[in-house]
Structure 1
Amino acid sequence: MVQGSLMIQGTTSDAGKSICVAGLCRVLKRKKISVAPFKPQNMALNSAVAKSVGQPEVGGEIGRAQALQAAACGLEPTTDFNPVLLKPSSDMKSQVIIHGQAVSELEARTFGDIKSMAFEKVLESYWRLKKQYDVVLIEGAGSPAEVNLRKNDIANMGFAEAVDCPVVLISDINRGGVFAHLTGTVNLLSESEQQRIKGFIINQFRGRIELLQSGLDWLEDYSNKKVLGVLPYLTQLKLDAEDAINSERHQQSASINIKVPVLPRISNHTDFDPLKWHPDVNLQFIGGGESLEGADLIILPGSKSVRSDLKFIEEQGWDKQIKRHLRYGGKLLGICGGFQMLGNVIRDPEGIESHAGSSQGLALFDFQTNLTQAKQLKRVSGQCHIDESSNEISGYEIHCGNSEGDALQNAFATITDQQGNTYKDGVISEDKQIIGTYIHGLFESKNSLASILSWISGKEHVVKGWNETRETELERLADCFEEYLDIDAIIQTIEN
């Protein structure tokens, strides 16, 4: 029986740590090994609702990547998989979430306080998982060579040293300079940390491996560490991103054009993955200075700082483009923070997301939103009311505040949460042109995606459930790992 743990650290952010852990989780699951994912500390605006440890009826917030890794293990996500989540609300401030619940705000100048605030909770979660599972696969954060952060590190070598686990270092060759990234990272570590690194994985390689072989031989000789494999560049990988927006588009000559403005604090943009990969949809993420014109549907996404992002929309002139889009018959959908923007006013009297105050909304519906300290964290299911039929939907809520007003009498959906409470969600305009909802993950359900696409185009569309797609992609990832990585050597590293 394989027992132990292994930590995947990266030379940079977005080096492939999340996908590497997900792929290895699925490989071990195939081998009938009891495995769980773990990330001590995450900083991301893409999150998911998981079961709170000790309170399964209560929702808790974890990084989206750990929810994906849980799926790779065949597990329902829990807050132990990601005990500390930091959600930036500005360039200088982050919300701190511990064991799924928001506990405080952390300013950049006091970031070092995170160790005293959270490390004990991190270790609690890790040792609980060690008792439950034979193997724990751990994902690092950023790079272990950030010398300015090492003193208070709980996410990379600081954690690995505390629990005495081996480390594999991954680097993305597609960025260039992979040998410098790997050797430079190792050279900046202490002697004990260097010894903790048991091997390297090179990610995103394009071309013939023979052309790389001399470099691999040099790397092993120079570092006295094994290259555990070279992963190829996988195109059109339909898996949740941790934080970076993947603007790769599956279908540019499609019948439905959807545009999503990229807000400075956009959150949960993984909501749109099922749309991005649907063959009938051309999904575009629109940056500052670009136009929203030419869309069949504009989606206002979630936001970690709704009033600030609403101001950004106005600065880009997107508010005027949205209203012109509606005058010409286009559709509009607001999700979570985007839904709050559709009303008359957003009030933040306690300064929860930014400075205290109020902002005028787009005034497309008669309702108001008041931001509150308590965060709604729910997994929900029910029926949406786009047309006369009741179409099943499912997803999750992650938001601060409540929306109230006459317009909400015409609800978008009737839903039930994990505690059995049934209530109305969102709003739909009388002419069916505008929808607002608090539900994330709206497009993952086969039935709700079919309803939304039909609402946009007036036609029926063939759809596939996103969970089915995710499973197919995880199997594809595991096939790739088994072909290109030395799995036996990785398992031996875990056991030792």
Structure 2
Amino acid sequence: MTNRKKTIRNLMLVGTGSDVGKSVLATAFCRIFREDGYHPVPFKSQNMSLNSFVTTNGGEIGRAQAVQAEACGIDCHTDMNPVLLKPSSDKTAQVILNGKIFGNYSAGSYFRGEIKELLFTEAMNAFRRLSPKYNPIVIEGAGSISELNLKNNDIANMKVALTTNTPVILVADIERGGVFASIYGSIQLLAPEERQLIKGIIINKFRGDIHLFDEGKKIIEDLTAIPVLGIIPTFNHIQIEEEDSVSLERKATFANDNKINIAVVLLRRLSNFTDFGRLEHDERVQLYYTNNPTELKKADIIIIPGSKNTIADLIELKRNGVAAELSRLARAGKTVIGICGGFQMMGQRIEDPNETEGQIKAVPGLNILPVTTILEEEKQTIRSSFYYKNNNDLCSGYEIHMGKTLLASEAIPLNRLENGDKEGCRSGDNLWGTYMHGILDNPIVIEDLLTPFTKTSHTTEDYSAYKQRQYRLLAQHVRENSDMETIYKILEA
């Protein structure tokens, strides 16, 4: 830990495009500042993601800001991500403002800026609420800073930097190619007052000998008159939760004969795939995503995940033959579990009387569990403590759903909440469903799920301790490959 000035300026990380690594680098700087004696906090004015998390006061924010808050050593709050967009189809999205549903908007109306000023005002109010409590604020931009057709209504990038007078570091992904053009073009397309705020450049996801890029570094600095403050090697030894759906394309899609195979049903509107991070990092497990019935048959365990549009995804599963295969495998004794929307799909019927998800008012479920779901307009966002099955170890999770699931008289609840209420449903030991996101982060659940498929005993590491170790490794990795002295001089100016 380094002792420096008591206060420094805030820092903003923006990108030449989406999936260049802004979220992970923001997480790294959150942890670095914490290690160096500061009290940092993450902030992203507008996020677009189907991976979300619930704050202690029942608000919904993007998962990335929850991860960054963990790296800061603080609990998350809706002020860290005041505007969250959750796409419900290719053309519409649910707008979450200060943790609660604000409304559903078409992409056209949203990006034409019809509510831009309102949302930006609310975002800056959230920023001002954070400012007296934390230092520095680590601000993350969204997508590219130079999308000229969207820029006038952009409330997540340089408008934030200008309004808060925050120094900016531009992040570029060298792995995708065209790094010189993307950096130079992104900067040149900015207005002069925006360009003045770009104080440094970070080259991310570098492979090979960094010294071979010495000439490239000099070319970028000569072209832009802006210092390259870091060249960050790509890494496989550190595991940080990713929220961008693009990262799903890098996940495994096939079984492995030497491991416990867990198949996650690949839905078009899959949400909260961070539910499976703990399993994905378990050395006994091959976790893969598929909507191929042949690959589903190879799995020891099948997970039906959450969805932003449960009825539409269920209809798609019926169309492509996956639904019939899931029902058949469940009847044959395969372990099948469902989380949130997946739990709803496992039931006998899903009803949508208020057309919350669309114009289809009812659809038969997979008929795996004796439950019926009625979708509602009000969203439930709750952090919960519960007891899994008949165990006495207290577990934790969180709920994000728009619907109430009713159990048939013969149904057996899966969990007992701390207040005594029942939650979820199970049939035997191999079929269960729950609304609890994060249920698979609990060691007792992991071991109950995996024990039938392994002969060796295993001590499951506390997942919170595991994640904290990853944040330390990430901070060390970025610190060693960045010019932290110059970065601090920029923030201390």
Query: How far apart in 2 are the matches of 1:370 and 1:192?
Result: 52
2:79 corresponding residue in structure 1: 80
Preserved CA contact (<8 Å) 2:292 2:322: no
Displacement after TM superposition at 1:24 (Å): 0.5
- Alignment partner of 2:355 out of 335, 351, 355: 351
Distance 1:125 1:312 in 2: 39
What is the identity, as a one-letter code, of the residue corresponding to 1:225? I
Kept in 1, the 8 Å contact 2:414–2:424? The answer is yes
Alpha-carbon RMSD across the aligned residues, in angstroms, is 1.8
Query: What is the correspondence of 1:453-472 to structure 2 with a 5 Å cutoff?
Result: 453-454=450-451, 460-472=457-469
Distance across 1 between alignment mates of 2:336 and 2:55? 29
Which string of whole-angstrom CA distances, capped at 9 and with x for unpartnered residues, describes residues 339-382 of structure 1? 00011111112222222511111112222111111111111112
Does the CA-based 8 Å contact 1:397-1:438 persist in structure 2?
Answer: yes
Q: State the Cα deviation string for residues 234-259 of structure 1 (Å, max 9, x = none).
A: 11432111222444459945431110
SS across alignment from 1:110: helix
How far apart, in 2, do the equivalents of 1:426 and 1:2 lie? 48
Q: Does 1:482 align with 2:479?
A: yes
Residue in 2 that maps onto 1:162: 163
2:405 aligns with one of 403, 406, 427: 403
Alignment of 1:265-276 (within 5 A): 265-276=269-280
Corresponding letter in the other structure for 1:436 = G
- Of 34, 50, 54, which residue of structure 2 is paired with 1:49? 54
**Mapping for residues 141-156 of structure 1, pairs under 5 Å:** 141-156=142-157
Single out whichever of 255-264 and 134-143 deviates more from structure 2: 255-264
Between 1:30-39 and 1:111-120, the stretch displaced more is 111-120
| Contact kept in structure 2, 1:408 and 1:427, CA below 8 Å | no
1:383-431 Cα offsets, whole Å, 9 max, x none, are 111xx54343211111111001316741000113xxxx441110010x3
- 1:87-120 CA deviation, whole Å, 9 max, x = no partner? 0000110000011111101111101224123111
Partner of 2:372 in structure 1? 368
Deviation at 1:263, TM superposition (A): 0.5
Q: Deviations over 1:66-92 (max 9, x none)?
A: 000001100000111100000000011
| TM-score between both structures, scaled by the size of structure 2 | 0.94
Closer, same or farther: CA 464–374 of 1 in aligned 2, 3 Å? same
Residue 322 of structure 2 corresponds to residue 321 of structure 1: no
Q: Secondary structure at the match of 2:465?
A: helix
TM-superposed CA distance for 1:472, in Å, is: 1.1
**Aligned mates of 2:199, 2:444 — CA distance in 1:** 47
After superposition, where does 1:419-430 map in structure 2 within 5 Å? Answer: 421-429=419-427
Contact preservation (8 Å) 1:346, 1:361: yes
Mark the runs of 5 or more structure 2 residues left unpaired by the alignment: 1-5
CA distance in 1: counterparts of 2:388 and 2:285, whole angstroms: 21
Give 2:299's aligned amino acid.
A
In the other structure, the counterpart of 1:303 is: 307
What does residue 187 of structure 1 align with? 188
Given that 2:386 and 2:415 are in contact with CA atoms closer than 8 Å, whether structure 1 keeps it comes out as: yes
Equivalence for 1:54: none
Which digits, 9 at most, give the CA deviation of each residue in 1:106-162, with x for residues without a partner? 111101224123111101110111111121000000111111111111100121112
C-alpha distance in 2 between matches for 1:65 and 1:408: 40
Matched, 1:6 2:24: no
Deviations 1:247-289 (A, max 9, x none): 4459945431110111111000010011111011111111468
Partner SS state of residue 447, structure 2: helix
* Matches of 1:80 and 1:136, distance apart in 2: 12
Indicate the larger mover: 225-234 or 391-400.
391-400
* 1:34-59 residue CA offsets vs partner (Å, 9 max, x unmatched): 110000000000000113xxxxxx31
Q: 1:150 to 1:237 in 2, by over 3 A?
A: same
Cα separation, 1, equivalents of 2:439 and 2:454: 18
Counterpart of 1:92 in structure 2 is 91
Cα deviation 1:164-183 (Å, max 9, x = unaligned): 21111001111111111111
CA distance in 1, matches of 2:96, 2:451: 38
Q: Which moved more, 1:257-266 or 1:389-398?
A: 389-398
Q: Please state whether the residue corresponding to 1:4 is helix, strand or coil.
A: coil
Q: Distance in 1 between matches of 2:291 and 2:120?
A: 37
Is the CA contact (8 Å cut-off) linking 2:369 and 2:432 kept in structure 1?
no
Contact residue 383 and residue 390 of structure 1 kept, 8 A: yes
Whether 1:394 and 2:396 are equivalent positions in the alignment is yes
* Partner in structure 1 of residue 264 of structure 2: 260
Match for residue 226 of structure 1? Answer: 227
Cα distance in 1, alignment partners of residues 207 and 319 from structure 2: 41
SS at match of 1:374: coil
Counterpart CA distance in 2 for 1:68 and 1:334 is 24
In 1: Cα distance, 2:208 partner to 2:291 partner: 32
Correspondences of 1:171-210 after superposition (within 5 Å): 171-210=172-211
- Partner SS, residue 103 of structure 1: strand
Tell me if the contact between 2:173 and 2:205 (Cα under 8 Å) persists in the aligned partners.
yes
Relative distance call for 1:278 and 1:408 in structure 2 (3 A) is farther
Write the distance in 2 (CA, Å) between the matches of 1:253 and 1:495: 55
Unaligned runs of 5+ in 1: 52-57
SS in 2 for 1:443: helix
DSSP 3-state at the match of 1:398: strand
User: What is the match of residue 3 of structure 2?
Assistant: none
Aligned equivalents of 1:411, 1:41: Cα separation in 2: 38
Describe the shift of the 1:352–1:167 C-alpha distance in structure 2 as closer, same or farther (beyond 3 A): same
> In structure 1, what is the equivalent of residue 122 of structure 2?
121
Range with greater deviation from structure 2 (133-142 or 457-466)? 457-466
What is the CA–CA distance in structure 1 between the aligned matches of 2:370 and 2:332, rounded to whole Å? 21
- Residue 239 of structure 1: aligned partner: 240
8 Å Cα contact 2:46/2:84 also seen in 1 = yes
Structure 1 letter corresponding to 2:449: I
Decide whether the 8 Å contact of 2:382 with 2:399 is kept in 1. yes
Distance, in Å, in 1 between the alignment partners of 2:294 and 2:210 is 40
Normalised to the residue count of structure 1, the TM-score between the two structures is 0.94
What one-letter code is carried by the residue in structure 2 that aligns with 1:63?
G
